[in-house]
Amino acid sequence: MRPLRRIPGDLALLVGCLSLLLLPLLSRAADMPLGSTLSPGNSASWSSPNNTFSLSFAPSPTSPSLSVAAIAYAGGVPVWSAGGGAAVDSGGSLRLSSSGDLQLVNGSGAVVWSSNTGGQGVSAAAVTESGSLVLKNATATLWQSFDHPTNTVVMSQNFTSGMNLTSGDYAFSIDRGTGNLTLKWTSGTTTVTYFNKGYNTSFTGNKTLSSPTLTMQTNGIVSLTDGTLASPVVVAYSSNYGESGDMLRFVRLDADGNFRAYSAARGSSAPTEQWSAVADQCQVFGYCGNMGVCGYNGTAPVCGCPSLNFQPNDPSDPHGGCKRTVDLQSCPGNSTMLQLDNTQFLTYTPEITTEQFFVGITACRLNCLSGGSCVASTALSDGSGLCFLKVSNFVSAYQSAALPSTSFVKVCSPAQPNPPPGDASAASGSSRGGAGGVRAWVVALVVLGAVSGLVLCEWALWWFFCRHSPKYGPASAQYALLEYASGAPVQFSYRELHRSTKGFKEKLGAGGFGAVYRGVLANRTVVAVKQLEGIEQGEKQFRMEVATISSTHHLNLVRLIGFCSEGRHRLLVYEFMKNGSLDAFLFGDAPGGKMPWPTRFAVAVGTARGITYLHEECRDCIVHCDIKPENILLDEHFNAKVSDFGLAKLVNPKDHRHRTLTSVRGTRGYLAPEWLANLPITAKSDVYSYGMVLLETVSGRRNFDVSEETGRKKFSVWAYEEYEKGNLAGVVDAKLLPAEDLDMAQVERALQVCFWCIQEQPAQRPSMGKVVQMLEGVTDLERPPPPKSSDSFLSTTTASGSGVTTATSMVSSTAPPPAAPTTSPSLDQEIALGRSESARNRDLVSRQLLSPQPYTTM
Ligand SMILES: *[C@@H]1O[C@H](CO)[C@@H](O)[C@H](O)[C@H]1NC(C)=O
Ligand SMILES: *[C@@H]1O[C@H](CO)[C@@H](O)[C@H](O)[C@H]1NC(C)=O
Ligand SMILES: *[C@@H]1O[C@H](CO)[C@@H](O)[C@H](O)[C@H]1NC(C)=O
Ligand SMILES: *[C@@H]1O[C@H](CO)[C@@H](O)[C@H](O)[C@H]1NC(C)=O
Ligand SMILES: *[C@@H]1O[C@H](CO)[C@@H](O)[C@H](O)[C@H]1NC(C)=O
Ligand SMILES: *[C@@H]1O[C@H](CO)[C@@H](O)[C@H](O)[C@H]1NC(C)=O
Ligand SMILES: *[C@@H]1O[C@H](CO)[C@@H](O)[C@H](O)[C@H]1NC(C)=O
Ligand SMILES: *[C@@H]1O[C@H](CO)[C@@H](O)[C@H](O)[C@H]1NC(C)=O
């Protein structure tokens, strides 16, 4: 444009500087001067230099007759809107006033929104190539839309603590101190935090962040940065992360209350979801509105009303909630509780309007019925006995066959439950495998019979034409990956597992519950597939147990990826452990051979931590019942992972009354004495088994081995005698000797813990949490008494006086074996609860029913 090359070199620099100063004037095409105006009527827009983003009016998504001033990516994906999406009529405008204030004005002339930059020296507005609307003077940016996000954060935009994304009643923010991502629902004065998650506990635990910033990186990784962190922390991977190309990536708080990551190709108006914070949409508070029930139809969340006592507020808006057909006020003294199985009224702390206490289902129902302000209640049947009373005026419900809870809603008599799903007039969200399953099956069979020929035909066609299509493989792989990443158990078909294990060819081992095979999923994940045997449980029960197992996550527990339940086939799909099981390393036949002491000790501590989690820390307490080296798996870094937990409940749950040695699934040698004496099985039974495993980890010999060397005594008995004599070296695995990394103090501690664990009296054994502390040296250790007391409790039952724990109070009843089936505590319950909570809850229920005070909080 300018004849620069004619200017002598000396002056070139000067002129260059001058032209830099003049740049805003020269690139006028992108800069809008004071007085510029946009209006819904004309199709004008303010665009970025390369037209990547442009600001213009577009029809409002909620009311198409009104318009919203929004910045959109090439193709039309909106990323920001003036005034948080405020809609104006056709006479409205967006104008940069002469004072430098950017204003959104409605047709009436009312200023709906303003940037509040009047009088600050703003000389122009521009949309940048990264998608920000900036107001600037000749040298500096004075205001930018990136600092005032609406519901979207794009690449190169910084979203810091103190900012909010909003969408309807929902808001997203980052907690300043911890960097936790939080999602909140607010209506009136009530705020419910339904999502609050830290992504790296190693710093959320012990570090206070100064100004955490969320960024969508161009490679699709959502990360958190902070001045106090050396490197960004990964919050989420988009499922297409790493893919490059001309595309926009962004995170957005959607109108449905979920926070998601998306990508959109240039020119496309429909972004593709790549990740979502709340994996289970029904967990979003208020998703179906007040009194709305969220459930799943296949994989799609659907909303419905609790019963025919309700009707939708707005039949055209499924998320609008429901209202009673007859108000509670118009039927005083004649209300009843409508029962909703497998339903939960969402309860998130801190929801102060919720009352919570430990009672049974019946008391939970009655307490709400008699409580004047109570509108609904939820009883958890996960072993906790918790009852939540909803006295708030907003109730958000979730119904799913996998939910271990029963809920009640107060309605005017009579209660009119929804017709079962499958009925065309059903107003409720259908749930998978519900009560209408049988009827649905009959219909399905008839239909199947009629169309099976057609289906076969189509299948054959597909087989011939599509099976080699490159589209099929990756698509299903991506699907599996998405489900896998969401943390929910994936349901596999039997055919799929048959294929991924190549017809159950490569057997990894055979445990007490069935054989295990190696498999490779469509997404190339290597897995271990367990074919369960002897499952007599129904589909529903099985799914509930699977839900419990797969919700149990811990570094030292093998993770359940998915399951298959088809006809008589029951399979579980676990993550694959590269280094196999501990027994191979202890008893000789592992390919790597010897395992050094520090690794052994770490495995012992890891195992104890995993079991502690099962016993004490997870929501549904689980007694493992079969702890042995074969069930302790090792990943590629030799982290110990306990496997097969939660399965004892799955197999022959009714069989425990006739508990004989043959029906006991545990393994001899590791079974606590109470198994053989027909006494209640508690968490302490696992402690015993763990003690035996610990002894074997130290010694490299089976605890029940008998040899000349051990004086024809069981190894565990002999080991205690040698320990008493101070001959530790005789007990330690010869493969470890002599070694400089053998810490004898640690060995002695491990042996002491082991002898405490294998005490014959359950009450004498420490809890698993205590075991971890003892191993780590946090707790001092006393010298253990001989494991087998001279007066064995198999013959005398009056042992242990004071300090009676729950376990012993049941153990030290008179004349235990053989206990009559009717009077002995049901093993089902003992296993389910891991302690005598069921009995306690039964007491509470009867007490609650007799109590004149309905709200007795325990
Ligand atoms: C605009 O596009 C041109 C050609 O593709 C490119 O060289 C230039 O860097 C782009 N400008 C910006 C600001 O991205
Ligand atoms: C603008 O005016 C229209 C009526 O002309 C109204 O429907 C709309 O709600 C107004 N917008 C705002 C943000 O007040
Ligand atoms: C632009 O604004 C900045 C910040 O307010 C100020 O320091 C600077 O002097 C202004 N430049 C001009 C040319 O007005
Ligand atoms: C985002 O933060 C980084 C690091 O603090 C900074 O370099 C960058 O300029 C910021 N981006 C915007 C658009 O403010
Ligand atoms: C942050 O999230 C973790 C779970 O990821 C939670 O345990 C913790 O309480 C949260 N912290 C705060 C301050 O909310
Ligand atoms: C968690 O944060 C710590 C400290 O910043 C870091 O060392 C570690 O690598 C992070 N872990 C992950 C999984 O990002
Ligand atoms: C469930 O999905 C099926 C098929 O997609 C549909 O026909 C049916 O109407 C849906 N049911 C509900 C309650 O939305
Ligand atoms: C309660 O409602 C039922 C069913 O509508 C009705 O039959 C009964 O008479 C009512 N009782 C009272 C006391 O109103």
Q: Please give the biggest Cα pair distance in the chain.
A: 113
Give the side-chain half-sphere CA count within 13 A for 665.
26
Q: How far apart are the CA of 656 and the centre of ligand 1, in A? A: 73
Tell me the DSSP string of 88-144: B-TT-EEEE-TTS-EEEE-TTS-EEEE---TTS---EEEE-TTS-EEEE-SS-EEEE
What interhelical angle do 597-612 and 768-776 show, nearest 10?
150
Handedness of CA 684, 690, 694, 700 (dihedral sign): positive
Side chain identity at residue 132, one-letter code:
S
The class level of CATH for 579-858 reads: mainly alpha
Backbone dihedral region for residue 394 (phi beyond 0: left; psi -120 to 50: alpha; all else: beta): beta
Q: What is the pLDDT of residue 604?
A: 96
DSSP alpha helices (H): ranges in 123-206?
201-204
d(CA 55, CA 5): 37
**Considering every ligand atom, which ligand is closest to the CA of 429?**
7
d(CA 639, CA 93): 63
Structure tokens at 408: 């009640």
- The catalytic residues are 626
- The DSSP letter of residue 785 is P
Side chain identity at residue 724, one-letter code:
E
Asked if residue 318 has its Cβ within 6 Å of ligand 7, the reply is no
**Residue in 139, 142, 143, 144 to alter for ligand 3 test, most ligand atoms within 8 A of Cβ:** 139
Q: What is the pLDDT of residue 765?
A: 94
Q: Return the ligand 2 atom nearest residue 106 CA.
A: 1
The CA–CA distances, whole Å, from 786 to 726, 748, 754, 804 equal: 14, 15, 11, 20
Q: Are 72 and 51 in contact (CB under 8 A)?
A: no
Q: How far apart are the CA of 334 and the centre of ligand 8, in A? A: 6
Asked if residue 419 has its Cβ within 6 Å of ligand 7, the reply is no
Side chain identity at residue 577, one-letter code:
M
Q: What is the pLDDT of residue 200?
A: 63
* Residues within 6 Å of ligand 8 by CB: 334, 413-414
Asked if residue 146 has its Cβ within 6 Å of ligand 4, the reply is yes
Q: Are 285 and 192 in contact (CB under 8 A)?
A: yes
785: Cβ–Cβ under 8 A, 6 or more apart, which residues?
A: 759, 764
Q: Are 720 and 785 in contact (CB under 8 A)?
A: no
Structure tokens at 716: 């565990």
Q: How far apart are the CA of 300 and the centre of ligand 7, in A? A: 9
Q: How far apart are the CA of 111 and the centre of ligand 2, in A? A: 11
> Residue-wise over 463-492: b if at least 16 C-beta within 10 A, else e?
eeeeeeeeeeeeeeeeebbbbbeeeebbbb
Q: What is the pLDDT of residue 640?
A: 95
Q: 310-312 and 386-390 as β-strands: parallel, antiparallel, unpaired?
A: unpaired
DSSP alpha helices (H): ranges in 327-422?
361-370
Q: How far apart are the CA of 562 and the centre of ligand 6, in A? A: 28
Q: What is the pLDDT of residue 421?
A: 64
d(CA 691, CA 752): 10
Structure tokens at 402: 């996998």
pTM here is 0.55
**Considering every ligand atom, which ligand is closest to the CA of 200?**
6
Q: Quick one: CA torsion of 553, 556, 558, 559, rounded to 10 degrees?
A: 20
Q: 514-520 and 102-105 as β-strands: parallel, antiparallel, unpaired?
A: unpaired
CATH superfamily, domain at 283-419:
Hepatocyte Growth Factor (3.50.4.10)
Q: How far apart are the CA of 354 and the centre of ligand 5, in A? A: 21
Q: For the domain 152-279, what is the CATH code?
A: 2.90.10.10
Domain boundaries, the chain: 26-147, 152-279, 283-419, 485-576, 579-858
d(CA 610, CA 772): 10
Q: Are 408 and 370 in contact (CB under 8 A)?
A: no
**Considering every ligand atom, which ligand is closest to the CA of 432?**
7
Q: Are 298 and 290 in contact (CB under 8 A)?
A: no
The residue contributing the CA closest to ligand 8 atom 3 is: 413
The CA–CA distances, whole Å, from 364 to 297, 360, 841 equal: 29, 6, 12
Asked if residue 144 has its Cβ within 6 Å of ligand 4, the reply is no
- The DSSP letter of residue 740 is T
Q: What is the pLDDT of residue 367?
A: 80
Return the CATH number of 485-576, one of 3.30.200.20, 3.40.50.11540, 3.40.630.10, 3.30.360.10. 3.30.200.20
d(CA 124, CA 127): 10
The CA–CA distances, whole Å, from 43 to 40, 59, 529 equal: 7, 12, 59
**Considering every ligand atom, which ligand is closest to the CA of 68?**
2
Asked if residue 455 has its Cβ within 6 Å of ligand 3, the reply is no
d(CA 80, CA 130): 12
Handedness of CA 122, 126, 131, 133 (dihedral sign): positive
Asked if residue 138 has its Cβ within 6 Å of ligand 3, the reply is yes
Asked if residue 234 has its Cβ within 6 Å of ligand 6, the reply is yes
Asked if residue 302 has its Cβ within 6 Å of ligand 7, the reply is yes
The residue contributing the CA closest to ligand 1 atom 8 is: 50
Task: Work out the angle at residue 509's Cα, subtended by the Cα atoms of residues 505 and 512, and round it to the nearest 5 degrees.
Answer: 125
Give the SS3 label for residue 484: helix
In angstroms, what is the C-alpha Rg of the chain? Answer: 33
Q: Does an H or E element contain 564, and which?
A: strand 560-566
d(CA 615, CA 390): 30
Q: How far apart are the CA of 35 and the centre of ligand 1, in A? A: 28
Q: Return the ligand 5 atom nearest residue 196 CA.
A: 2
Q: Do domains 26-147 and 152-279 have the same CATH topology?
A: yes
Q: Return the ligand 2 atom nearest residue 92 CA.
A: 1
Specify the fold of 26-147.
Answer: Agglutinin, subunit A (2.90.10)
Q: Does an H or E element contain 86, and which?
A: none
Q: 490-491 and 560-566 as β-strands: parallel, antiparallel, unpaired?
A: parallel
- The DSSP letter of residue 428 is S
Q: Are 58 and 72 in contact (CB under 8 A)?
A: yes
Q: What is the pLDDT of residue 781?
A: 86
Q: 805-827: per-residue pLDDT in tens?
A: 223 222 233 333 333 333 333 33
Q: How far apart are the CA of 531 and the centre of ligand 6, in A? A: 37
- Point out the residues of the chain with pLDDT beneath 50: 1-29, 204, 350-353, 423-439, 442-443, 446-449, 451, 453-486, 652-664, 790-858
Which of 192, 197, 255, 257 minimizes the C-alpha distance to 222? 197
Q: What is the pLDDT of residue 20?
A: 39
Asked if residue 52 has its Cβ within 6 Å of ligand 4, the reply is no
